[in-house]
A and B are shown apart, each in its own frame.
Chain A
Amino acid sequence: MKIELTRRYRFSASHRLHNRHLGEEENQRIYGKCNNPYGHGHNYVLAVSVSGAVDPATGMIANLGELDVFVEREVLEDFDHRNMNADVDAFRKKVPTTENLCTEIYARLSKFPAAKLERVRLEETGLNSFEYTGESDERNIP
């Protein structure tokens, strides 16, 4: 049997979907109101799933306190209450769609030393969610 542990976190951030290599009209056509010039925000819910052997001494795959500190430092501090286009280096040139947020967050959290990162799931709203398990090519639109 394989065991995974999932923890949910929240952050609130703003973004604008705009590809600087495309014209204004094309951006408007592709991204619609997500292309409005001053951006807009969401309450994101991030679910982080890790797997590994359960340590018999602690009963844990990974100490939740350590995971919380790691996620806080690697993701939440950088994203929460930020404008992602302006404040997060990775999105100065990359469109901050939730797909791209997923791959960026996965890359950051895959360095968690105490357990194997299985997947990240990001809810942009209660109706939109995206998952990334790290197995496909990263072909992000610049």
Chain B
Amino acid sequence: MVYLTRKIEFSASHLYHNPAFSAEENRRIFGKCNNPHGHGHNYVLEVTVAGEPDPVTGMVLDLKELKDILQKEIIERMDHRFLNYEVPELVGQIPTCENIARVIWELLEPRITRGRLHRVRLYETPDLFADCYRDGVEGAGQ
């Protein structure tokens, strides 16, 4: 098995607010991430696909094909957007790193038809990231 990773970046804004909580609770739980007009990050996304290289092409999947999928599903949907309001999959959810990574997994998983999606890693900052793995696959470390 070979693991292929492609990295992209997108910039977006978000805020954390649960309307079921009081203003004080929102502030206590979410801190400055609750500031009402939102704030932004440069997100870095690493997408890892696992598979056997095709004996004819030597590729797990065509990187151009993966690039096009990431452009259409992620960049066009999330780049330079306010995630709470402009990304339908995140409307009504708290756009934490965990939830954004899960939405990205759900968007990409059915589109990867050569090899299998192995891991989605989303960095919100260099010191904070979330990983999504297929059920039953142990974390492969860093």
**Interface residues, chain A, CB within 8 Å of chain B?**
1-9, 47, 49, 54, 56-61, 63-65, 118-119, 121, 129, 131, 133
| Contact flag A131-B142 (CB < 8 Å), given A1-B105, A3-B130 | yes
- Contact present for B101 and A59 (CB under 8 Å): no
A133 / chain B contacts, CB cutoff of 8 Å: 139
Name the contact of A58 in the complex, choosing from B94, B105, B127, B133 (C-beta under 8 A).
B94
Q: How large is the interface on B (under 10, 10 to 19, 20 to 34, 35 or more residues)?
A: 20 to 34
- Contact present for B133 and A7 (CB under 8 Å): no
Whether, in the assembled complex, B96 has its beta carbon less than 8 Å from a beta carbon of chain A, the answer is yes
- Contact present for A59 and B134 (CB under 8 Å): no
- Contact present for B133 and A60 (CB under 8 Å): no
Q: How far apart are the CA atoms of A65 and B134 in the complex, in Å?
A: 28
| Contact flag A54-B142 (CB < 8 Å), given A2-B132, A59-B16 | no
- Contact present for B141 and A54 (CB under 8 Å): no
Whether, in the assembled complex, B56 has its beta carbon less than 8 Å from a beta carbon of chain A, the answer is no
- Contact present for A60 and B135 (CB under 8 Å): no
Whether, in the assembled complex, B110 has its beta carbon less than 8 Å from a beta carbon of chain A, the answer is no
B30 / chain A contacts, CB cutoff of 8 Å: 58
B135 / chain A contacts, CB cutoff of 8 Å: 1-2
Q: How far apart are the CA atoms of A58 and B21 in the complex, in Å?
A: 10
Whether, in the assembled complex, B2 has its beta carbon less than 8 Å from a beta carbon of chain A, the answer is no
Q: How far apart are the CA atoms of A2 and B126 in the complex, in Å?
A: 21
A118 / chain B contacts, CB cutoff of 8 Å: 139
Secondary structure class of chain A's binding surface, majority of residues: strand
Instruction: Show 12 A/B contacts (Cβ-Cβ < 8 Å), sorted by A.
Output: A1-B135, A2-B137, A3-B131, A4-B133, A6-B131, A8-B126, A58-B96, A59-B95, A59-B99, A65-B31, A119-B139, A131-B142
Whether, in the assembled complex, B98 has its beta carbon less than 8 Å from a beta carbon of chain A, the answer is yes
Cβ-closest chain A residue relative to B128: A7
- Contact present for B102 and A64 (CB under 8 Å): no
Most B CB contacts (10 A, CB to CB) among A6, A56, A129 go to A6
Q: How far apart are the CA atoms of A58 and B18 in the complex, in Å?
A: 7
Known pairs A1-B135, A5-B131, A7-B127 / 12 extra A-B pairs, C-beta < 8 Å? A1-B134, A2-B139, A3-B133, A4-B131, A5-B128, A8-B127, A57-B21, A58-B30, A58-B96, A60-B96, A61-B98, A118-B139
- Contact present for A4 and B130 (CB under 8 Å): yes
- Contact present for B98 and A5 (CB under 8 Å): yes
| Contact flag A2-B133 (CB < 8 Å), given A57-B18, A58-B94 | yes
